Amino acid sequence: MTLAIRQVTKSFGQHRVLDALELEMQPGELVCLLGRSGAGKTTLLKILAGLLKPEAGSIWFDEEQVDYAESHARHDIGLVMHQPFLYEHLTGIENLRFYARLYQVADDAAALEAALAQVGMQRYGGKPVRAYSRGMKQRLTIARALLHDPRILLLDEPYTGLDLQGSLVFNQLMLEQKKQGHIVIMTTHDLSHALPISSRFAFLARGRVAEDLPNRELSLDTLENWLTLKLAKPNSEQQKVAA
Amino acid sequence: MRDWLHSVRTLVWKDLLQEWRSKDMLTAMFAFAILTLFIFNYAIELSPVNRAEIASGIIWVVMVFAGTLGLNRSFTAEQDQGCFDALVMAVPDVSAIYFGKMLTNWLVMLFVSILILPIYSLLYNQSLINLGFILILVLGAWCYSAAGTLIAGMTVQTRMRDLLLPILLFPILMPVNMAVVKAAGGILAGAPLVEVQAWLVLLAAYGIIVTTVSIMVFEYVIRE
Amino acid sequence: MALLLVLAAFAMVLFYAPIEVNMGLVQKVFYFHVSAAWVGMLAFLVAAVCGILYLNKKELKYDFIAFSAVEIGLLFTAIANFTGMIWAKPIWNTWWTWDPRLTTMTIMAFTYIGYLLLRRGVDNLEKRARFGAVYAIIGFASVPLTFFSSRLLRTIHPTIFGADTGDMAMTPAMYQTMAASIVAFTVLFAVLLWHRSILTARETEIDTLRAKTETLEFGEVQDD
């Protein structure tokens, strides 16, 4: 599946967050979105998920314009955001069962146990989510996002709360997703973990993809230096304040 | 359509399971209702003459106030954990979320009222176990839930949250208040169902209109 | 501005035209009472229509108009209720009855207040407009239901005496005065609405700019 973002524009009041943004992705790619706070990374993810409507521009899956009113389009998308989307009083397995039923995928015990095992949570499925640590909730919500086998994954700071083990499990999962030809877009500050799995790094500034850096044997130092330089460039707002 | 019903069923299952585990709504509503009944029992002397009408009034007032406690809690899980986004992506249409919540609230309210009726009968020495009476409560609870779910969906996202719900809900609910109290009072006083049918028609009309408008409009409560 | 004065004068001039009826001078209040009530209802209709328009087009100006309509409508509804009470006390010897029109007007006033409070409780401009629109629509939908249920209430309890204004005999001159009065009030409403809407738009602009300068002062960048 290919993904194309064409001329997407979004403003909040007077503030234009995304300005005719363009981005194309091939199957099996993982794009890491980088940029200052407020650059529009989360906004872009929400638009891709169909939660926000852009004022202009369109999203294309496989050369067909996406109609987010159609549920089959939305069922091709998996989303992980800052909030866990979990129900505290239900157990891990019950949360998964709920989402499995909503998406009308297999909700039998075996399938759900397998989903838990994917993120290393097979021993905790029977406990209520209330009792989970932040890292455990993060793992469960990742399992939740993958449950309906979406071809497009949108992840906002997925490493939040994950310990080293959890980050490695996550990376492994992402490599498998890439092998299956799925597309992953993620935002993160955790460059050391993102580096081994990212195909490209897209830097967002002034509402557009200011630079698109392919991951050709990049070292962590090179990546970090590149990012530091990009972040150091002043944008128009900060210039006004300085003046 | 089948997908829509399926998602509604799944949502109701999830809500009822959540509620059963936490028992937040149930205990609050039940405790509040019983205490209020006690207060009424103390404050209002009932002679055999005015029993019928006052009974329906008391029961409904208790349900209205206890209901706000339930409504306030019904959206907190989604609001605090941000689940709205995940639900919007999964369901065929946002109206399924409204309808699922509405059914849950209706069922919880009915459950509480079923528990309350025998207690009232005990305190006031007056049997309320009457098919017509229960039918009216069922209809009234539906109307209450239809309007309340829509309004609660909004107030849970405001600054004032719980405080705002009664202020917004009660004016809209007035027709239901009048209809339930008068119809139920009539039934208890011995009138046959036919006599109060005007009120029943009004309740049915209210239920249909408010549910329909809410289904159309709920999308704007959840999404931008 | 000149328009306003001319119409106010027009209304006053007509004051002299009608002949006094057997009810005495108090009856003259009737013209303003009905006109004010009419404007109250019109304002609610405007708010509901603007609500629908906003949800369709997402242009903030509809929210400003709706807000102004509700503010002004509340004022006129209060005037209607007070003039009604002034008229009622000498005639019926009571301040309040469950008269359908009075009940509906009062419930409408509470809905207005709810609307204003709801808007107060939401800081985000877009969400505020959305919620206002939703509440205006559901509020308006409930008005006819409230009216019918209070009418039903009265037919069952005809113990309230002579609340129908049909008791009054109206001469042609009085009809003319009534019509003129209603027209005058409507134009007054339109002018007030126009000015208040523009004022609201400016106020909102100022608030937004002020918020912007505050964040720039501290060097904070807006969140995603």
> At residue C127, what is the residue type?
K
Q: Which residue has the higher pLDDT, C159 or A16?
A: A16
Provide, rounded to the nearest whole percent, the portion of chain C with pLDDT above 70: 69
CB contact under 8 A, C222 and A15: yes
Pairs of residues, one from chain A and one from chain C, whose beta carbons lie less than 8 Å apart: 27
Q: What is the pLDDT of residue B6?
A: 92
Residues in chain B with CB shorter than 8 Å from the CB of A77 are: 89
CB contact under 8 A, A87 and B18: yes
Q: What is the pLDDT of residue A238?
A: 47
Predicted TM-score (pTM) above 0.90: no
Q: Which residue has the tokens 């990376």?
A: A171
Q: What is the pLDDT of residue C20?
A: 47
Taking the mean position of all CA atoms in its chain, how far away is CA B35?
Answer: 18
- Integer CA distances (angstroms), C98 to B38, B215, C147, C154, in order: 29, 32, 11, 7
Residues in chain A with CB shorter than 8 Å from the CB of B73 are: none
Chains touching chain C at 3 or more Cβ pairs under 8 angstroms?
A, B
Residues in chain B with CB shorter than 8 Å from the CB of C152 are: 178-179, 182, 198-199, 202
Task: Specify the range with the lowest mean pLDDT, choosing from A200-214, B4-18, B42-56, B88-102.
Answer: B42-56
Predicted confidence (pLDDT) at residue B168 exceeds the cutoff of 90: yes
Residues in chain B with CB shorter than 8 Å from the CB of C103 are: 174
Q: What is the pLDDT of residue C216?
A: 64
Q: What is the mean pLDDT of chain A?
A: 88
pLDDT band, very low/low/confident/very high, at B172 (cuts 50, 70, 90): very high
Pairs of residues, one from chain B and one from chain C, whose beta carbons lie less than 8 Å apart: 98
Predicted confidence (pLDDT) at residue C163 exceeds the cutoff of 50: no
Predicted confidence (pLDDT) at residue B8 exceeds the cutoff of 60: yes
Q: What is the pLDDT of residue C223?
A: 46
DSSP per position, A112-129: HHHHHHHTT-TTTTTSBG
CB contact under 8 A, C149 and B179: yes
- Residue B64 in contact with residue B173, Cβ under 8 Å? yes
Predicted confidence (pLDDT) at residue C157 exceeds the cutoff of 80: no
Residues C45-85 have pLDDT tens digits of 999 999 999 999 888 889 999 999 999 999 999 988 888 77
Task: Specify the range with the lowest mean pLDDT, choosing from B72-76, C92-96, C216-220.
Answer: C216-220
Q: What is the DSSP letter of A91?
A: B
Predicted confidence (pLDDT) at residue C128 exceeds the cutoff of 60: yes
Q: Say yes or no: C125 contacts chain A, CB-CB below 8 A.
A: yes
Q: What is the pLDDT of residue C26?
A: 59
Task: Specify the range with the lowest mean pLDDT, choosing from B117-121, B215-219, C37-41, C81-85.
Answer: C81-85
Q: What is the pLDDT of residue C160?
A: 38
Residues B44-67 have pLDDT tens digits of 776 666 676 788 888 899 899 989
Q: Which residue has the higher pLDDT, C117 or C183?
A: C117
CB contact under 8 A, A74 and B18: no
Instruction: List the single best residue of B22, B89, B104, B219 to mutate versus A (max A Cβ within 10 A).
Output: B89
- Residue B133 in contact with residue B120, Cβ under 8 Å? no
CB contact under 8 A, A98 and B83: no
CB contact under 8 A, B214 and C139: no
Predicted confidence (pLDDT) at residue A207 exceeds the cutoff of 70: yes
CB contact under 8 A, B88 and A51: yes
- Integer CA distances (angstroms), B17 to B99, B144, C182, C208, in order: 17, 22, 57, 44
Q: Which of residues 116-145 of A touch B (CB under 8 A)?
A: 128, 144
Predicted confidence (pLDDT) at residue B29 exceeds the cutoff of 90: no
A207: nearest CA in chain C? C224
Q: What is the pLDDT of residue C156?
A: 56
Q: What is the DSSP letter of A39?
A: S
Q: In terms of Cα–Cα distance, which of B166, A98, B70 is closest to C113?
A: B166
pLDDT band, very low/low/confident/very high, at A39 (cuts 50, 70, 90): confident
pLDDT band, very low/low/confident/very high, at A68 (cuts 50, 70, 90): confident
Q: What is the pLDDT of residue C224?
A: 43
Taking the mean position of all CA atoms in its chain, how far away is CA B54?
Answer: 20
Q: Take residue B15 and report the two structure tokens written for it.
A: 């809500």
Q: Is B48 exposed, middle or buried (0-12, 13-18, 19+ CB in 10 A)?
A: exposed
- Integer CA distances (angstroms), C9 to A31, C175, C185, C188, in order: 71, 19, 12, 11
Q: What is the pLDDT of residue A217?
A: 80
Predicted-complex ipTM score: 0.88
Q: What is the pLDDT of residue A225?
A: 85
